Structure 1
Amino acid sequence: MESAFFGHHEADPRALLYYEWCQRTESGYAVDDFAEEVRDLSHTERTVPALCWQLLDRVESAPRLPDWPFVEWADAPGSVNLPDLEHDSPTPDPALPDRVYGGWLGRCAGCTLGKPLENGFLWTPESIRAYLEPYGAYPLRDYVPVAEPVSPAIGSRRDWRAATLGGIDGCPRDDDIDYTILGLHLLEQCGPAFTAGDVAALWLDRLPFLQTYTAERVAYRNLIDGFAPPDTATFRNPYREWIGGLIRADIHGYAHPGRPRRAAVAAAREASISHVGNGLWAAMWAAALVAAAFTAASPAQALDVALTVIPERSRLAVALTEVRDDHRRGASWDQAVAAIHIRHGHYSWVHSIGNACLIAAGLLWGAGDFTRTIGLTVQSGWDTDSNGATAGSVAGIFSGASGIPAHWTDPLHDTVRSAVSGYDSARISELARRTLGVAR
């Protein structure tokens, strides 16, 4: 499955069959009886498309388990329609420009920190620690050092050197930053009442197909095949609860400072092109978390606020509550991360639930310290660049741009590389300034 994951999974019947079976298993469907057939057809060197599609049809037709204890998308599709309980005119914050800029810088720094370690098949908390300790770089307090010579197993990515200590010359291109830029362009062009159709049109116009991944790649394929949102999120899209919606949400928090419910509604509308259920709720949670950071007294308080925008009995809410409870009980960070990996290791390493928990842990045990927050988040593994970006965004808002240590921001040179058409080598400060123009 690893080769399918990094290949053209959107067109590989083996990947679509296997991950759809996983998705149905994880969300309470009676598909256990298909396990052997799924494994026989999906874990093969050569695909047998007709048999894969036939079995996929059967998996998709399986009934729900009657005793499933969690709320799923089929139970609460209207959960995105939050009542607006927020004031129209929050108290003006003179520090808002610095804090929005801090969010952008923190996101870029956290993403860059995590980028060299982004491969959950290879990088676990244990292997990350084993790599860093010989360089005196554990716990992480600066960008990831480079092994010389670089092992092909870890340095085969073209952007490895561009995201490691001493090699960073501007924020390297990453989808976690591309979507933040694309979201800003969306808000500038379409305003706060943008539609999912506007998002679809923008993707086709500005976003290269091969710079999308998992749920976004499938949704893009569905757009090309003539589907429209929300069907793009569900047709043959087994990645619809993975992390993609979450990584696209921060811009809606920046645009609604102190208004987490409005941020969540906007993020849900944007995420609906590719995600449903816990994938879409994770986007709402992340947007609310970022928005709440502008007015909350602490990261813990912002996390408590963010939890209120998603269904209480969703798997995501239950998982995040467990992390919050671990923190209240006085568990150590190592204990908390180990518990998260045990509870959610059955999900893909890019699933929204486990990664949201690692973000929450980084923010809770980071306790408002920017360096500690992004360091802990990244060294906890799984989707390290995405998690580092979101945690860095929140931590950067709390500290403001002026409070982020210079060793994180200086190598960025106020520049970000991007695959979004018209935005390569954009100034981070200019993106932050433009964000203030759409903030409401």
Structure 2
Amino acid sequence: MNLIDIFIKRSKLVFYSVLLLLLITIDVSAQESQNDTITLKVENVVDKIRGGLLGEILGNLNGLPHEMKYIKEPGNVKNYVPSLPEGAWTDDDTDFEWVYICEMQKQRDVFLQPTQICSLWEERINKRIWCSNRFARYLMDIGIEPPLTGKSIFNPWASFNISGQFLCETFALIAPGMPQTASKIGLNYTTVTINNEPAQTTQLFSTMIAQAFVTDNINDIIDFGVAAIDENSELNGIINDVKSWYSEYPNNWRKTRQLLHEKYTQEDNNIRDFNGHELNTGAIIAALLYGNGDFSESLKLAFNFGWDADCNAATVGTILGVIHGYRNMISRNSHAHQDWMIVDRYKNITRDNMPMNETITSYADRIIELFEMVNSINGGEKVLDNNRMVYKIIPEHPTPVVELADLEKQKQIIKIELEEQIKKDLQSTDRKSRARAAYYAVCLDMDKSIKSKYPDKWEQASYDLSGYWKLMSSVFFFRYTEFNDFRQFRQKFIEAGFKGPKKEYEDDELYNDMEIWKEPERLY
């Protein structure tokens, strides 16, 4: 055998050795990828989604009698039995999500676009809306779309409001074991009305709910949630404090409540506090820790911690509802155990152009359908495994999807992005566009320069904005408006020459009068 033959033979040997090694590596990698899934029985996931929704509804509706009742001092609820003897009904803790869920199902898309979101609000969300949600709704009247409706530059509630918490739970049920997906879906909708720290609560609670499908350990669930928030978020300090107080006073939740109130009250117990994310986040974490996994006890604690108690109980109820599951919860409603009374009804009393008589289970079925769609998109599947139907879910590690923003830098970026549009809208023949230009200009501190440069155009735009009576009423009047951010926001409009309407409108007037714009002479 000559040298060339030897070389060829050795080359072939090396080639086949490398090829074999490569094939083994590929096979091992494929096996690892295949094994890198969460396998959950279909019946269990369905049960937990239904349980999470039922828990959310119970916390919300059973918590309404305690909403905003216990501010300086905790409540004293001693006995609590979860019940819906006449079934459930729509309330803002669950019906915003319901509107979105139905449209997601119709569009086969969990990430609705800003124009779609605005259309849904204009068609369906016009009453029983408060605080940041109401403000965002009336910003839509002048053509401002999400996420700008949820920027604190334009919406004075957005920097603290708890919509980041109570509008995210149902979306997290779409993403069992997928915390990043849960956060992304939630943020697509909560940032319609909030930003920054409240957006961190969306990530916190969405992740906790998503992880409750794979573990029932409350401490682990909380730790997973913490891993999903920005390391600079003030939520870290709140949660660490509550955990520390719980360790120090494991049998005295009232002491923890006292310490939470003393440290995290922001503005002398006004709406900035009981509608803010700080105290309410702390209350949820504390209720979960002291409740130790017991559904009824945990919700009772959420009521007693107070502040926005129904919202907090809804979040607690979602997490524990996922852990316990629908079958376990509804078994308390049997002939043998009649201590819980649950009627399967979800009656629409709040949302226009929506089904009038949904049931809790049919609402849950919508969520289940969306989960299967999302799971498939993310690479998971529904398969037969050892004679049982299971979901294969590609797991995700909890991590922040959005980080905290520097609000002043954010303002400057938005100002640069909108400057040309503002000038263009001032020249428009469209009233809404001119009104929007005036609103943007005041919020971005551009009104003085624009008024100086375009006095006639500014006068017309100001007149147009003044006619959007619901928005201007929200700028100047709203129940519990005396918090610092709102006072500063309102002062900008006063200095720009605007004034409030002659009267503060009642809720029913705002909800039932469909006339969006009125002649300012009638209003001022």
Q: Which residue of 2 aligns with 1:218?
A: 135
**Of the candidates 119, 137, 152, which is equivalent to residue 201 of structure 1?**
119
Residue 192 of structure 1 aligns with which residue? 110
CA displacement, residues 337-390 of structure 1 (integer Å, 9 cap, x when unaligned): 222211222242011221111111111111111111111111110001111111
| Correspondence for 2:304 | 379
| Stretches of 4+ aligned residues off by more than 6 angstroms | none
Report the CA distance between 1:415 and its aligned residue. 3.1
Aligned match of 2:471: none
Equivalence for 2:157: 239
Alignment of 1:32-431 (within 5 A): 89-94=37-42, 95-119=44-68, 122-124=69-71, 126=73, 128-129=75-76, 138-142=77-81, 168-190=85-107, 191-208=109-126, 210-234=127-151, 235-240=153-158, 241-331=160-250, 332-346=252-266, 347-404=272-329, 405-406=332-333, 410-420=341-351, 421-431=353-363
Return the alpha-carbon distance in structure 1 between the equivalents of residues 106 and 125 of structure 2: 16
* CA distance in structure 2 between the partners assigned to 1:92 and 1:228 by the alignment: 39
Quick one: distance in 1 between partners of 2:174 and 2:37? 14
| Residue 200 to residue 287, structure 1, CA distance change in 2 (3 Å) | farther
**Contact (CA 8 Å) 1:111, 1:388: kept in 2 or not?**
yes
Gaps of 5+ in 1: 1-86, 130-137, 144-164
Instruction: From the superposition, tell whether residues 385 and 324 of structure 1 become closer, same or farther in structure 2 (CA, over 3 Å).
Output: same
Change in CA separation of 1:380 and 1:412 when aligned onto 2, cut-off 3 Å? farther
- Equivalent in the alignment of 1:40: none
Q: 1:97, CA displacement in angstroms?
A: 1.0
Structure 2 gaps, min length 5 = 1-34, 267-271, 376-524
Residue 165 of structure 2 contacts residue 205 of structure 2 at CA under 8 Å; is this kept in 1? yes
For the 8 Å contact 1:245–1:282, the answer to whether it is kept is yes
TM-score (norm 2): 0.58
Percent sequence identity is 21
Task: Tell me if structure 1 keeps the 8 A contact 2:207–2:224.
Answer: yes
Once the two structures are TM-superposed, the CA of residue 88 in structure 1 deviates from its matched residue by: 8.5
**Separation (CA, whole Å) in 1 of partners of 2:36 and 2:113:** 22
Residues 342/269 of structure 1: CA separation in 2 closer, same or farther (3 Å cut): same
Per the TM alignment, residue 139 of structure 1 is displaced from its structure 2 partner at its CA by: 2.2
> Structure 1 residues 341 and 127, CA, compared in 2 at 3 Å: closer, same or farther?
closer
Q: Secondary structure, in 3 states, of the residue corresponding to 1:92?
A: strand
Give the superposition deviation at 1:200: 2.5
Distance in 1 separating the partners of 2:52 and 2:216: 16
